[in-house]
Amino acid sequence: MILQFDFSSDEALYMQLRNQIVAGIAEGKLKPGERLPTIRALADECGINMMTVSKAYQLLKSEGYIVTDRRSGASVAGSSPTQISEATMKALRICIYEMRIAGMSEEDLIRTCRTIFREGKTQ
Amino acid sequence: MNWIIWLSVLWLPALLAYMNLNEIKAKKNIVLGVTLPQEGREDAQVQRILQTFKQRTIAAAACLLIVGIAAMFIPGRTMTLFMLWTVLTVIVPYIPYVLANRDLKRLKTERGWTSASRIVYADTGTEPVRYLHPLLFVPPVLIALCPILIEKGLSIMYVMMAVLCALSYVSYRYLYRNKAEMVDADTARTAALSRIRRYNWGKMWLISSYAMAFISLLSALTPRHPFVSFLLLGVLCIAICYEAVHLEMKTRKAQEKLTADSGGEWYVDDDEHWLGGLLYFNPDDSKTIINNRVGMNSSVNIARPAGMVLMSFLVILLAGMPVMGVWLDSLGTQPIVLSVDDRQLRASSGMTHYTIEREDIASAELREQLPERLARRFGTAMDHYLEGTFSDTEGAVKLLCDPYCPPYLYIVTKDGKRYLLASRVSEETIQAEQLLKE
């Protein structure tokens, strides 16, 4: 899976990394048990601080998307988290509000959600 | 000596032209420091720019060669001309390169071949790095130290050679950025390119370490067989240069072959960080040492303070070379002063000073000729200036003299140290010997 970091974006680099790994798992690009690069390797690769990568991995671990091991490093968790966090639900609510304000109909919103939900499912 | 100095570098313009002309062939989608898509490589305007670059590069190399050959025949000021020519040889070949890079970048923008800026990519499938084991670098260190058993007097020199052997490992390990050679989304291609680069990089430093060890061994041959040692050193230096270029070209060839079909829908493009296609400037990158995009060499990120310091040091070094040439030429006419007082014999010239206590002198005599098989071990050997530690058939001897100004004052101290000292004015040397006898 190709990760990309946009240095001109307002979004923090650790969040960019976290979101891409979540998207990778959802789209099936990252399989359960698949090893992720070590913190040092990924920081070296992208020229970013090790703390940035570490922060993203910590967050992913606390959310249950990845597991870390002292010897084998980080890998995608065998089972995905079943609980949706309050923050995610809050973010979804804001997204829906924004779409409603933009004039999107309920049908269009559901169709869009369905398309996104099915992305990568066939992979 | 003039001939040897010039012949040792006159091949440089041809080599640099060869290396630069090789950049015309697309490697990792990069042509002359500019990332181009497949369609861009066959573009007629691109081909015209490349043709102009080719002509300019060949013309620049020919001019440098002609100037170098002409300078060989200019008497005097050898080192000034040599240094000036070397600086020009390092700079001039890159002028056509930078001009072609500028034209290609302009064309790239016009044709819309540019990609999003300030984005860095990483492949999660990248293999972890396996470095060469440090123990592989231990034998050359030990080989470099072996001559100490024969020449204890020059232990420092051999220890320095051993340190250089060990430094090859440090360079191998730390002058390389651990970064995958990502060109596009093809993970297998990225892995193959990374492996080839790492393999050749390690091989080069391992060869360099062993070569240094053999130079140390050959140095030990110098006192007994100076000509054979000189000849073998020459052969070894040629072999090292050949192998370094060979490995670089081998890496480039592999990069060219493996990425021949890349540059389609999506490919990595970080041209905006490469000034003139040569200097890396990326404030977003926390690394100082970075990998050149083509080949296997390293460079520095001049957006980092340490990178800027390193680059400034290089510029100062280049700018200082002609000044150093003037200084080296002045050594040939710089006075060599011999003075004797009640307690000491002093010989000095510029920054070199030898002081010998008179009570330590076992014998002092004048000699009309320098010893046969005299070979420099540590110091300066110019046509009209010999300074430092040399060796002859009897072992190490310290020199400070002009080989064209006999007689030479030959001093042996009670602890067995030997000196050959002479002023450029013969009378001064004779007077110093007479004062020592009083």
DSSP characters over A22-45: HHHHHTTSS-TTPBPPPHHHHHHH
Please tell me which of the candidates B117, B124, B177 has its beta carbon nearest to residue A44.
B177
Q: Closest Cα of chain B to A75: distance in Å? A: 11
Minimum Cα–Cα distance from B120: chain A residue: A5
Note if the bond before B75 is cis, omega within 30 degrees.
no
Residue A123 has pLDDT above 70, yes or no: no
Between chains, do A44 and B179 touch, taking CB under 8 Å as contact?
A: yes
In angstroms, what separates the C-alpha of A77 from chain B's closest C-alpha?
15
CA distance A46 to chain B (A): 6
Q: How many of the other CB atoms lie within 10 Å of CB of B239? A: 13
Rg (CA), chain A: 16
Is A3–B179 a contact, with Cβ atoms under 8 angstroms apart?
A: no
Interface touch A1/B126, C-beta < 8 Å: no
* Domain definitions of chain B by residue range: 337-437
Amino acid at B44: A
Contact B126/A3, CB-based, under 8 Å? Answer: no
pLDDT tens-digit series, residues B193-247 = 999 999 999 999 999 999 999 999 988 887 777 788 888 888 999 999 999 999 9
pLDDT in tens, B333-384: 899 999 999 899 999 998 899 999 999 999 999 999 999 878 888 888 888 8
pLDDT in tens, B386-417: 999 998 888 889 999 999 999 999 999 999 99
CATH architecture of the domain with range A13-76: Orthogonal Bundle (1.10)
Mean pLDDT over all residues of chain B?
92
* Of B380, B390, B381, residue with least CA distance to B410: B390
Contact A36 B124 (CB under 8 A): yes
Tell me, yes or no, if B119 comes closer than 8 A to chain A by beta carbon.
yes
Domain residue limits, chain A: 13-76, 86-118
- Residues on chain B touching A4 (C-beta within 8 angstroms): 119-122
* ipTM metric: 0.74
User: How many Cβ atoms are within 10 Å of B97's Cβ, its own excluded?
Assistant: 21
pLDDT, residue A70, reads 79
**Residue of A6, A7, A45 with shortest CB distance to B126:** A45
Interface probe with A: pick from B124, B174, B290, most Cβ of A within 10 Å: B124
According to the model, what pLDDT value does residue B417 have?
Answer: 92
* Minimal Cβ distance to B286: which of A1, A6, A47: A47
Number of Cβ pairs < 8 A linking chain A and chain B: 63
